[in-house]
Structure 1
Amino acid sequence: LHAIDSAADELGMADWVRATLHQPERSLAVQVPYRADDGAIRVVPGYRVAHSMARGPAKGGTRFHMDVTATEVAGLATLMSVKTAVVDLPLGGGKGGITVDPKQLSETELESLTRSYTRAIAGSIGPDLDIPAPDVNTGQRHMDWMADEFGRVTGRPQPGVVTGKSIAAGGSLGRDTATAAGCRTVVIASARRMELPADARVVIQGFGNAGAHLAAMLAADGFRVVGVSDSRGAIHDPRGLDIGAVAATKAAHGSVIHHDAELIAPEDLLALDCEILVPAALEGAIDAAEAERVRARLIAEAANGPVTDRADAILHDRQIAVVPDVLASAGGVIVSCFEWQQNQREERWSARYVADRLEQRMQHSLDDLWAVAAARDLDLRTAAMVLGVGRIAAAIEERHGLDVARELAS
């Protein structure tokens, strides 16, 4: 809410619009019973929050984790509203989750849990209302189960009720590389704008789905990826790593640390001499101490919330440009929107068409972001909040403004 208030202050927002943004349009807490393998029925709490539907149906992931709370889900739904607005999608923001440790459940128990959750929230989701997607500890199989169960509840197949489905169940081509591809566009365009070398050195923290794909893409584009890490350690080669070989090593041995390169401490990865740093792993990975050591000129946040507030202030003071996660990691939600549109139109787009539309959307959004930052003399993170919140506020005013004006006049 602090970030929204700061953006509202910058925009000179009316009090009633600010108050609207402070609370979700709809918040649902449900009981989720599921059948355990021993035959017992267990019950866990679940949630689904739609923060704003002023710009379109709510959109956001569904996570399975023991730390899920109503407060966390509401906060994440708010961030999704901003993210979809920053990239100008015809969607609002939502989030959902179940307070459970999925690692303790069998495949049968997970399916029972997911289908039960879908039945519990079925009245609050739908292709024109609220569209869940994968998040922490959920993926294609969970979305396939949700789509199937929603079809059973409503009596007709509606694949557009969720995104992130398997291709066979109506998913979109390009979804598996969407976050990396979107971040690639941000890195290339920002590096060009900042006049960084064509073979700029890149460090990527995290070699999971997004990080590994991004490393391969940037290497193919001519950048030198000089450092990468995963949960077990970090490696460095100032000449540039052979990303294909690194990926093969990780696939064969479980970690990048077995690759033939200099093994370094994970905390030293962020301090490597480079032009571009991409945190693609954990939330809060760059704290104040790490921010003082960063040597990159550009940071692109492929992970969600990788820079703490204090670190962000330090990076700003050091004039290190940070493209925030609401844009840099938005490739996933953009292609999710494409999947929803394909389902609604009963179309199937080619991988090339999806990739081209994603690149165009990311480029236009980045141009909008830099323009707001320049016009208002703001850092990119603050500019992103102003851009996103401003678009949501404009939709709220168009949707409700006349009614509010009548109430104030009466």
Structure 2
Amino acid sequence: MTQENYNAYQTAQKQFDDVADLVNLNQSAREILREPSREFHFTIPVKMDDGTTKVFKGYRIQHNDARGPAKGGIRFDPNETVDTIRALSMWMTWKTAVVDIPLGGGKGGIVCDPRTLSDAEQERLCRGYIRQLVKNIGELNDVPAPDVMSNAQHMLWMLDEYETIKGARYPGAITGKPVGMGGSLGRTEATGYGVIYTLREALKTLNIDITETTASIQGFGNVAEYAARLYSAMGGKILTISTWDNQDKKAYTYRNPNGIDVDQLVLIKDKFGTIDKEKAVSMGYELLDGDAWLEQEVDILLPAALENQITAEKFPLINQSVKVICEGANGPTSTEADQLIKDRGIYLVPDFLCNAGGVTCSYFEQVQSNMNYFWDKEEVLDKLDTKMTAAFHAVHELAEEKQLYMRDAAYVIAIDRVANAVKQRGWI
């Protein structure tokens, strides 16, 4: 499947179908879990700064809530599609199940480019999104959070609109809020740190010392930045980081054979993860093609950008030295590439396990907001480490016991938990 005709929802459904066949899931459970329970499609009229009105498309999709309220982020993306959101809502169901938190899966999105909107326009867009959904979200049925190109400020505008309409305070209705306004300490780092907690455990099972490893990372947004920070702090060396350049409308790979200084690159990136290439080159970084991150002689590949980045067409670029692929992004690997990864014997930490740190910490934030009692950062990160480590070993042990690919093992655990919840509720 090429990048042009890639459909994330088809990928998510095929992954589900393969495991449903593997575990002989009954037909009624398949029908419930293969498609979203509910979808909301709507338009959002926004008064622009120049006095004109622009109409944006918005979506909220709730895949399954048998284990608890739907949970999932809201993406801002000019190329957003409803099928991508369907896939992401489905992956959220498996993600919350594999780390065993009492939530379901949902996802939202607005077709827009916030990089071209003023702060005032972004605020009106956020409030308009909530006005369309206020009857269908909340701490008891569906809890949104930030995602691609959305942030804590967007979440606070959305929460304020929700509470204004409801006429009361509901701090647990939306997560990813600013610290001091109901947000949790550690939430900023959570997804990236969770990626490295699972990587650390994977390396232990392979008897590889993390201090002797090298890595290549795709992406330099929040997830990639904090994954890079923790990986470096644990003694690993990052040779390359690849990220999108919004000005040139293409990706570049930045390489330093002596190891990338994460703090240095953070100083020259914008809030969307774009690195100032002129400054990077002046600092001595090699500027390479966007796919060059795949070709590096490293031990670890860490895709932490968007979906469908490791494909059958690109797989031959991957250096023979690669031992582990740790999926920080959602759906970065195509189903065709999965087979090639298996054939080469690369150890894969699948996305909905690897990057579940964000939703786990969002759950912690929801609990804290509902209690109106907040934990310190060390406690949050300790709880996160415990959850991620336990989830990793449950998947790894099943994979070893049944001789399964790690992605399949993670699906078996997640689907079994959700299917049992559906059965216990009497839905089948």
Q: TM-score scaled to structure 2, two decimals?
A: 0.88
Residue aligned with 1:343, SS = helix
Residues 1:20 and 2:44 aligned together = no
Residues 1:391 and 2:417 aligned together = yes
- Superimposed CA distance per residue, residues 85-136 of structure 1 (whole angstroms, 9 cap, x where no aligned partner): 1111110001112233434433222222211221211110111110011122
On the 8 A contact 2:243/2:275 being kept in 1, the answer is no
Residues 1:156 and 2:186 aligned together = no
**Match in the other structure for 1:343:** 369
CA deviation after TM superposition for structure 1 residue 246, in Å? 4.3
Q: Pick from 57, 68, 71: which aligns with 1:56?
A: 68
Distance 1:35 1:117 in 2: 13
CA deviation after TM superposition for structure 1 residue 188, in Å? 0.9
Q: Pick from 141, 160, 176: which aligns with 2:153?
A: 141
Residue correspondence of structure 1 range 116-127 to structure 2 within 5 A: 116-127=128-139
**Match in the other structure for 1:355:** 381
- Superimposed CA distance per residue, residues 154-207 of structure 1 (whole angstroms, 9 cap, x where no aligned partner): 110101111111113211111111111101101111011111134212222223
Identical counterparts, % of pairs: 37
Distance 2:35 2:275 in 1: 47
Residue aligned with 2:138, SS = coil
Distance 1:38 1:127 in 2: 36
| Letter in structure 1 aligned against 2:276 | G
> For the structure 1 residues 33 and 304, does the alpha-carbon distance in structure 2 shift closer, same or farther, using more than 3 Å as the test?
same
- Superimposed CA distance per residue, residues 202-241 of structure 1 (whole angstroms, 9 cap, x where no aligned partner): 2222233222322222222122223333335334444434
> For the structure 1 residues 243 and 73, does the alpha-carbon distance in structure 2 shift closer, same or farther, using more than 3 Å as the test?
closer
Distance 2:239 2:57 in 1: 45
Residues 1:206 and 2:219 aligned together = yes
On the 8 A contact 1:234/1:257 being kept in 2, the answer is no
Residues 1:177 and 2:199 aligned together = no
Residue aligned with 2:121, SS = helix
RMSD: 2.2
Residue aligned with 1:123, SS = coil
**Match in the other structure for 2:6:** none
Structure 2 gaps of 5+ residues are 1-12, 246-251
Residues 1:316 and 2:338 aligned together = no
Residues 1:224 and 2:248 aligned together = no
Residue correspondence of structure 1 range 277-356 to structure 2 within 5 A: 277-294=301-318, 295-356=321-382
On the 8 A contact 1:85/1:92 being kept in 2, the answer is yes
Q: Pick from 123, 140, 158: which aligns with 1:128?
A: 140
Distance 2:254 2:55 in 1: 44
On the 8 A contact 2:60/2:107 being kept in 1, the answer is yes
Distance 2:145 2:314 in 1: 33
CA deviation after TM superposition for structure 1 residue 28, in Å? 1.9
> For the structure 1 residues 91 and 253, does the alpha-carbon distance in structure 2 shift closer, same or farther, using more than 3 Å as the test?
closer
Residue aligned with 2:74, SS = strand
Distance 1:372 1:44 in 2: 45
Distance 1:373 1:6 in 2: 15
**Match in the other structure for 2:292:** 268
> For the structure 1 residues 154 and 244, does the alpha-carbon distance in structure 2 shift closer, same or farther, using more than 3 Å as the test?
closer
> For the structure 1 residues 163 and 267, does the alpha-carbon distance in structure 2 shift closer, same or farther, using more than 3 Å as the test?
same
Moved more, 174-183 or 35-44: 35-44
**Match in the other structure for 2:276:** 254
Residue aligned with 1:270, SS = helix
Structure 1 gaps of 5+ residues are 405-410
> For the structure 1 residues 386 and 126, does the alpha-carbon distance in structure 2 shift closer, same or farther, using more than 3 Å as the test?
same
> For the structure 1 residues 249 and 158, does the alpha-carbon distance in structure 2 shift closer, same or farther, using more than 3 Å as the test?
closer
> For the structure 1 residues 223 and 102, does the alpha-carbon distance in structure 2 shift closer, same or farther, using more than 3 Å as the test?
closer
More helix by share: 1
| Letter in structure 2 aligned against 1:24 | P
Residue aligned with 2:426, SS = helix
> For the structure 1 residues 253 and 282, does the alpha-carbon distance in structure 2 shift closer, same or farther, using more than 3 Å as the test?
closer
Distance 2:176 2:364 in 1: 11
- Superimposed CA distance per residue, residues 268-299 of structure 1 (whole angstroms, 9 cap, x where no aligned partner): 33222222121122322222243223231011
Distance 1:91 1:253 in 2: 36
Q: Mark the structure with the bigger radius of gyration.
A: 1
Distance 2:131 2:317 in 1: 49
Residues 1:77 and 2:101 aligned together = no
**Match in the other structure for 1:215:** 228
On the 8 A contact 1:249/1:258 being kept in 2, the answer is no
CA deviation after TM superposition for structure 1 residue 143, in Å? 0.6
Moved more, 328-337 or 72-81: 72-81
| Letter in structure 2 aligned against 1:37 | D
**Match in the other structure for 1:407:** none
Moved more, 251-260 or 18-27: 251-260
> For the structure 1 residues 355 and 14, does the alpha-carbon distance in structure 2 shift closer, same or farther, using more than 3 Å as the test?
same
On the 8 A contact 2:15/2:335 being kept in 1, the answer is no
Moved more, 102-111 or 84-93: 102-111
| Letter in structure 2 aligned against 1:201 | T
Distance 1:164 1:55 in 2: 21
Q: Pick from 191, 194, 199: which aligns with 2:203?
A: 191
**Match in the other structure for 2:180:** 168
